[in-house]
Chains A and B, each alone.
Chain A
């Protein structure tokens, strides 16, 4: 007989309260996780969409790509020697449309590579978000530091950097705008281990992302919130089951006096924990997935199935740990004391 289920059925309100709290905490965690992931994409989709590899920047750049200048000969050797390698530069800037309205962009230029858009002199390829501002293919956009005009050649999907839409331009145009000949970075895809190159410092994709100040600060804060919520939900389980167990000490004592195994009492508690968590998680996953559909336009919200499954598993594990910790008092229950306590 499943006494755990019988108790849930008889004490609906008590379990509904716990379930609601778990649902709210897990829902909030999923939403913040979706926002965190969305902001992360919004901040660094340009880098995150690249295959795994190594970034190289000048070792004297103090891990700041903006300060990095890679010597032309070193760049040439690296790009020629390594398959699919590309030298690139990123600079924040803006373009003006026909109405002289300014649009913030992240100018990106690179040597010939499949990883970045190939753009001819005088052309520009923009992130799709700019299209929503009314700019169309064939339009001309300008920049104050650029003598000529850029003709919009096309749009790319979800390419953002530092929350700004990416604008791919030709290297010659880039050099004119920023007045530098050298590229800031060289990216070598598919390289698991960095190559020791004189004067250059290497970074994996993840390491490079953490050198972007806004990215690491933003992600660190959001991740901290997520983990706090996960820990809080574990504590909630521990506290709630502890309180329930305290109320049920008499019952546990009687059941033990009658011959119920302690392991069965733990099983009862785990069943209840998994039941409540499973329902709460199903609801919060369904609602958070629903939220991805109704999230306001422009809100950076990406909740992947992988993250959802990961967080759900973590919630189940943390709930299990919380409930188990609180359940240790069951082992201390003396049947004799429970009998002497009176009615349960």
Chain B
């Protein structure tokens, strides 16, 4: 069943006097628990599509539906609420908060998301997720003392701690070596399947496609 739908989405940017159309009418639907990879050459519009889907920018035309609701008509505040409680993000760089420990990064996400998890159970949940990403032993460490792979594991843990319905990943393995990339992708695959999270991921790395259920190729602002 489709949990996420992108309907005739277009996006253009003004470049001086010229209007550049980056997305030229994209239709896409994502099924619950499915991992979809967006691939394509640079400038094909895959990152723009991901950020529109994630509610980080608005489409110039077309509609985005999440859970049957049209996000295009929502206010910034409504979109923020969805981002906080229903979406999870993994970026190319881990983007962890530098002054929070690993445990605090996850606790912060629980606070932001207004989770239904009771206060006393939050610590237990954090421990559970940290064990899943094998970072429980570094729970009191600050990001500055973690390796790239460890940071990305924490970023993944932060993205799923509040049990989102959607996970958006923008080149999650781009800053990692081949072995660590595979580990991280395995982790995303394992966790999203286990928690039934729908994933939309942008990647350049063809090796990572084996972890996806579906691969969508984009070129010049269109799905090919």
Report which A residues bind B (CB closer than 8 A): 1, 3, 6-7, 9-11, 250-251, 254-261, 335-336, 338-339, 342-344
Contact = CB atoms under 8 A, between A and B. Distances in A.
B108 A3 contact: yes
Interface string B158-179: 0000000000001000000000
B61 interface: no
Contacts, number: 67
B94 interface: yes
B108 A1 contact: yes
A258 B112 contact: yes
Contacts of A260: 84, 112
9 contacts: A3-B97, A9-B99, A250-B95, A251-B97, A254-B95, A259-B85, A336-B57, A339-B91, A339-B170
B51 interface: yes
B100 A259 contact: no
The 8 closest A-B pairs by CB, nearest first: A259-B84, A10-B99, A259-B83, A343-B93, A254-B95, A7-B99, A336-B56, A342-B93
Contacts of B83: 257-259
Interface class of chain A by DSSP: helix
A257 B89 contact: yes
Given A336-B57, A343-B95, A6 B89 contact: no
A257 B142 contact: no
Interface string B88-125: 01011111111110001001110111000000000000
A336 B51 CA distance: 8
Given A1-B108, A259-B80, 8 more contacts: A6-B99, A7-B99, A255-B112, A256-B80, A258-B83, A259-B87, A339-B56, A343-B93
B85 A255 contact: no
B210 interface: no
Nearest to A258: B112
Contact of B111 (A1, A257, A339): A1
B67 interface: no
A343 B85 contact: no
B89 A258 contact: yes
